[in-house]
Amino acid sequence: MPLVMMTGLPSSGKSTRAAELKRLFEERLAQPQNQHRTMAVQIVGDSTLGVLHSAYATPSAEKMARGALLSAVERLVSRETIVVVDAPNYIKGLRYQLYCIGREVSTTQCLVHCAIPVDVARQINQRREDGYDAPTFEELAMRYEEPNPAAKWDSPLFTVIQHDPDDVLPFDRIWDAVVEQRAPAPNFATAMKPVTETNYLFELDRATQEIINAVLEAQKSGVPTFEVVVPGTAEKVKLPGRSLTLSELRRLRMQFTKLNRQVPLKIDKIPVLFVNYLNINL
């Protein structure tokens, strides 16, 4: 049932903590009096998927690696399995996508942040035979987005100081958050509505396409702009300082549509939520 996401800089010890978590979960689940003892524990991440560090050297290779991770999590997450996602998860957009996968199947989840100073992580990475090459390490470190406990996809957040023997995993709190707590309602609980609305998919496609068209039209004007007002919402799409391509916008639209096909949103909430999704992932 639970989804535990790891995050941290390269060489911050995510895999070490993930393995420790798996061992602790299995030990507690094995206790005869534990009512959850039928659950299994599974680690999924770069090492289990055969993703090499070189996958983070180019945008296209990294995109494929993210796709493989998301697909694997979708296959594994269930009410009978604790899934520990041992991957960099260094941008909030990917953490948001993982969060949405968990909400789709109505599971609890949490984020474990392996905190470490960049200089220390760099030194550890340089000493490792299987470390990232220097340019890739610096790129990942520069783009790393620290988790924000105020964001729903980064909460509940547990931070551990890596390579500090006195800083132990707060396992009891993690266990309580993801095993003992009741699972939330699937996907955007406050925006759900009954599936009896037959025109939902039509409205989902229409509203998201209108927003894509608005962004493309604003870019065609040739006037520099950093925000685009879109129909159906007072929210604005915040442009990333470059022109967005049609294929890029289509990809994000398809991802949003896939995440929200099975558990419908309120139709009047679709534009707001899609704009928020774009702003997180652009």
**Structural domains of the chain, with CATH:** 3-180 (3.40.50.300), 192-281 (no CATH)
Work out the pLDDT band at 276, boundaries 50, 70, 90.
confident
Q: Which of 73, 32, 104, 79 is nearest to 178 (CA)?
A: 79
Work out the pLDDT band at 281, boundaries 50, 70, 90.
confident
User: How many alpha carbons fall within 13 Å on the CB side of residue 244?
Assistant: 29
Please give the share of the chain, as a percent, with pLDDT higher than 90. Answer: 39
Quick one: pLDDT at residue 45? 92
Work out the pLDDT band at 132, boundaries 50, 70, 90.
very high
Quick one: pLDDT at residue 120? 94
Asked if the model's pLDDT at residue 165 lies above 90, the reply is: no
Quick one: pLDDT at residue 1? 62
Q: Which of 20-24, 26-30, 150-154, 253-257 has the lowest mean pLDDT?
A: 253-257
Quick one: pLDDT at residue 173? 95
Q: Which of 21-30, 144-153, 251-260 has the lowest mean pLDDT?
A: 251-260
Contacts of 14 (CB under 8 A, 6+ apart): 6, 7, 8, 86, 87, 88, 114
Asked if the model's pLDDT at residue 11 lies above 70, the reply is: yes
Contacts of 96 (CB under 8 A, 6+ apart): 153, 277, 280, 281
| φ and ψ of 36, to 5 deg | -105, 15
Work out the pLDDT band at 196, boundaries 50, 70, 90.
very low
Q: Which two tokens stand for residue 143?
A: 């783009």
Work out the pLDDT band at 149, boundaries 50, 70, 90.
very high
Residue with tokens 């003992």: 180
Contacts of 61 (CB under 8 A, 6+ apart): 54, 55
Please provide the average confidence, as pLDDT, over all residues in the chain. Answer: 85
Pairing of strands 109-115, 157-161: parallel
As a whole number of angstroms, the distance between CA 20 and CA 130 comes to: 21
Quick one: pLDDT at residue 264? 66
As a whole number of angstroms, the distance between CA 71 and CA 87 comes to: 13
DSSP H helices in the chain: 14-29, 46-49, 59-76, 92-104, 118-127, 134-143, 171-175, 200-220, 246-260, 270-281
Asked if the model's pLDDT at residue 278 lies above 90, the reply is: no
Quick one: pLDDT at residue 217? 86
19-77: pLDDT as tens digits: 999 999 999 999 988 888 888 999 999 989 888 899 999 888 888 888 889 888 988 88
Asked if the model's pLDDT at residue 90 lies above 50, the reply is: yes
First to last CA, the chain: 30
Angle at 262 between CA 39 and CA 200, to 5 degrees: 165
SS3 267: helix
| φ and ψ of 20, to 5 deg | -65, -40
Asked if the model's pLDDT at residue 179 lies above 70, the reply is: yes
Work out the pLDDT band at 193, boundaries 50, 70, 90.
very low
As a whole number of angstroms, the distance between CA 141 and CA 222 comes to: 34
Angle at 187 between CA 181 and CA 188, to 5 degrees: 100
Q: Which two tokens stand for residue 186?
A: 């699937």
Residue with tokens 């039209």: 217
Asked if the model's pLDDT at residue 151 lies above 60, the reply is: yes
